[in-house]
């Protein structure tokens, strides 16, 4: 499923017009996105949590060519599935 399908099923299930469902779903992800950009943790009980991890720069190699490559520092969110999400998938 992608974003527009999610919006569509949200609209159908809760009998809301598409434009409202779309605004709702977009606001939901926008708020999470903004928190992660600010470096905050996000915790959604039952679904999961995101934490932002900082990765130090390192010197790696291109495994195909063997050429040395420097990999710069980066910040990446890490998602940890919540207990209920895990149970839902395995239930």
Widest CA span in the chain? 57
| Token duo for residue 1 | 């499923």
DSSP H or E stretch at residue 85? helix 83-90
| Token duo for residue 89 | 């998938």
Residues 23, 60, 69, 83: which binds another protein (CB under 8 A)?
A: 23
Minimum Å distance from CB 66 to another protein? 21
Of 23 and 61, nearer to another protein (C-beta) is: 23
CB of 50 within 8 A of CB of 79? yes
- The yes or no reply on residue 58 touching another protein (CB under 8 A) is no
Binding site for another protein (CB under 8 A): 1-3, 5-6, 9-10, 13-14, 20, 23-25, 27-29, 31-33, 35-48, 50, 52, 54, 72, 74-79, 81, 84-86, 88-90
């Amino acid at each position: 499923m992608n974003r527009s399908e999610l919006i569509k099923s949200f609209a159908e299930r809760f009998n809301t017009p598409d434009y409202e469902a779309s605004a709702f779903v977009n606001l939901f992800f926008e708020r999470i996105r903004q928190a992660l950009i600010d470096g905050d943790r996000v915790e959604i009980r039952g679904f999961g949590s995101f934490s932002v991890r900082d990765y130090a720069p390192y010197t790696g190699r291109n495994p195909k060519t063997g050429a040395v490559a420097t990999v710069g520092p980066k910040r990446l969110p890490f998602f940890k599935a919540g207990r209920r999400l895990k149970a839902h998938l395995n239930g």
